[in-house]
Amino acid sequence: MSPSELSVRALSAQVRSGSLSAEQLVQTVLARAEAFARIQPQAFISRVPDAQVLQRAKAIDAELAAGVYLPLAGVPFVVKDNIDAAGLATTAACPEFSYQPIRSATLVMLLERAGAVLLGKANLDQFATGLSGARSPYGVPHCVFNRDYISGGSSSGSAVLVAAGVAGFSLGTDTAGSGRVPAAINGLVGLKPTRGRWSNAGVVPACRSLDCVTVFAHSIDDARCVDEVLAQFDATDPWSRLVPAPTHDIDVTTQRPVLVGVAARANLDFSGDMQSAALYDAALDTLKRSGAELVEVDVQPLLDAAQLLYAGPWVAERLEVTEALLKARAGAFHPVVRGILQEARLVSAADAFRGMHALQAYQGVATALWRDIDMLCLPTTPTTFRVTDMLADPVQLNSILGRYTNFVNLLDMSALALPAGFRSNGTGFGISLIGPAWSEPALFRAGSAYEALLQVSIPPLEAEPRAATIELAVVGAHLQGQPLHWQLTSRQAEFVCRTQTAPAYQLYAMAGQQPAKPALVHSGVQVGTAIEVEVYRLGVEAFGSFVAEVPAPLAIGSVQLADGRTVKGFVAEPRALAGALDISQFGGWRAWRTRPPEEL
């Protein structure tokens, strides 16, 4: 069974018919989960014990035997770990925030009542803040086709576990694009329904007024199967909305062509990624062949509205859940997330009203669009990035990923992210069909017509563990341009990134060392500083030989980086500080060595 063969409708039909038992299906999936754990162990944060999963599958088989109709019978699924599931901790990718929910989120209960089988909780950008998938203390999930590249976030683990064939579908959440960006990069369908179409009860809020739970699946029909179960009003959720009778539904098979707005060329920016630009043009050709009529529109006002999400007052809404922990234990947060939340404290009530008024003006522009078109088609993301690049420039690159997604929830739209091919490096490119609130039926129909004509070759999954490597942080004489750097290059060490330690260290210039060397000492978050380091990746044997050459009073221990990861790195014995000079205020060895004469 390949990943794409985990069809929600087909598998549930087989289980209901008895040609495949839920127990047999689950046994296959558990074996696949175990194999994938050797490739990307960071995809899951927690898993339901195998024995419980099998017990659940047997119970489903018994219900079916008793004549109970289960629309999702036996289909395995996972949920993002900001969604409650009884029996599993909810962490939101922050261990210090973790709690044990008393009951599952409404959506999890609905899925289980429909016969779906929960496998576990998936990794995410901490507190669903980010679109990269690289902001979690549990590790960085990677694109399933090329692990040098990001998975996209914040619903990172949810996407890769479906793309890898571990789950038939998964739930994510979406405030800025988190249910769509990972779908594009991993070749999936991502449905971001209208706000309030699905319940948010039992979901850790990011921006409560904007959040949506989303689904990742292999096809539009799979996403529609999940929507059929979940699209219902929930009185326990203050933000839930009654699903109205269809008011924006175009039957593309019998009525006029669906009118699809496409961005004017001046609105498009692919960040220099010419393959993305070519794939977008090819997707538009496929849409035309499916019967759609393309209408060029100016989407710049929508792109301007998108800036309100992080540059406007809505960022302050993210403090609702996190503020108490931020005050008590700021060090519990991923550094990038902490920076965003600390900036949010500066937003005033007046800023909030100014933002609301600005958004209302943009809403008028968006409403006017729907008089001329039925839906928009935009790239889901302009491009994608290597993990190392994202770690080195987490804010700017994240902003690029959200160029075409950030405005959708702000302006109360629904969206369907669809695959549109793959770049030569194996990473996925996608388009998004975007409509007004409650336009899901029209999006499904237009998307299905497109999907039926789409012909792409799916790259092979990276299905084998890579050769064992160890990441090493260097802080002084082994930096690029420094006298001992050759000890890394002679071992074919791969440069990963230039970054900083967590703000918990002090750096000393040791006395009497030839060549000159620093000592890095952990001093705690209350008095520590972030120190510049370079991270390299070495094979296990090369790492062992490198460690053997490290002279006392230095040693190799564990160093925490600014992104929350822990890697191997230089540490120092207490005797290293005898006669040493504290140079922490310079932020790194290179800055100390190149300081101006007046600072000598």
| Domain assignment of residue 248, yes or no | yes
Among residues 394, 424, 453, which one ends one of the domains?
453
**DSSP per-residue codes, 220-233:** HHHHHHHHHHH-S-
Contact between residue 427 and residue 146 where contact means Cβ atoms under 8 Å apart: yes
Residue 31's CATH number: 3.90.1300.10
Same domain for 47 and 13, yes or no, is yes
- The C-alpha atoms of residue 428 and residue 273 are separated, in whole angstroms, by 13
pLDDT for the residue numbered 299 = 97
- Helical segments of 256-348, H only: 274-289, 300-306, 308-311, 319-328, 335-344
Buried b (16+ CB within 10 A) or exposed e, 555-594: ebeebbbbbbbebbbbbbeeebbeebeebbebebbbebbe
Please tell me the predicted confidence (pLDDT) of residue 4.
Answer: 62
Q: Say if residue 287 is in the same domain as residue 335.
A: yes
Question: What radius of gyration, in Å, describes the C-alpha atoms of the chain?
Answer: 25
Read off the CATH number of the domain in which 486 is found: 3.10.490.10
What is the extent of the structural domain holding 536? 469-599
- Adjacent-strand bridge partners of 263: 297
Mean pLDDT, consecutive 10-residue segments, the chain of 600 residues? 77 96 96 94 96 98 98 98 98 96 98 98 97 92 94 98 97 97 98 98 96 97 98 96 71 74 96 96 98 97 93 88 92 90 90 92 94 97 92 91 97 98 96 97 97 93 82 94 90 86 93 93 82 91 90 93 87 93 94 71
Q: Is residue 460 part of a domain?
A: no
524 and 420 within one domain: no
Residue 259 lies in a domain: yes
Residues 442 and 591 in one domain: no
Structure tokens at 511: 């006395």
Residue 397 has which token pair?
A: 């690159």
The DSSP line for 387-452 is HHHHHHSHHHHHHHHTTTTTHHHHTTEEEEEEEEEE-TTS-EEEEEEEEETT-HHHHHHHHHHHHH
Of 178, 240, 276, 439, catalytic: 178
Q: What is the pLDDT of residue 598?
A: 52
Query: In this structure, are 344 and 388 located in the same domain?
Result: yes
- Looking at the structure, do residues 411 and 492 belong to the same domain, yes or no? no
Any catalytic annotation for residue 178? yes
Same domain for 118 and 250, yes or no, is yes
If asked whether residues 235 and 105 sit together in one domain, one would say yes
Look at residue 255 in the predicted model and tell me its pLDDT.
Answer: 67
Mark whether 371 and 503 lie in a shared domain.
no
* Marked catalytic residue, from 154, 158, 199, 290: 154
User: Of 397, 426, 453, at which residue does a domain stop?
Assistant: 453
Residue 507 lies in a domain: yes
Confirm whether 461 is domain-assigned: no
Please tell me whether residues 228 and 349 are part of one structural domain.
yes
Provide the pLDDT for residue 600.
Answer: 46
Boundary (domain end) residue, out of 407, 425, 453: 453
Q: What's the structural domain count of the chain?
A: 2
Same domain, 376 and 256: yes
Q: CB burial class (10 A; 0-12, 13-18, 19+) of residue 299?
A: buried
CA–CA distance, 437 with 174 (Å, rounded to integer): 15
Active-site annotation holds for 80? yes
Q: Are residues 445 and 478 in the same domain?
A: no
- Give the active site residue among 80, 121, 192, 568: 80
Do the domain assignments include residue 459? Answer: no
Residue 540 lies in a domain: yes
Token pair listed for 481:
């341009």
Residue 463 located in a structural domain:
no
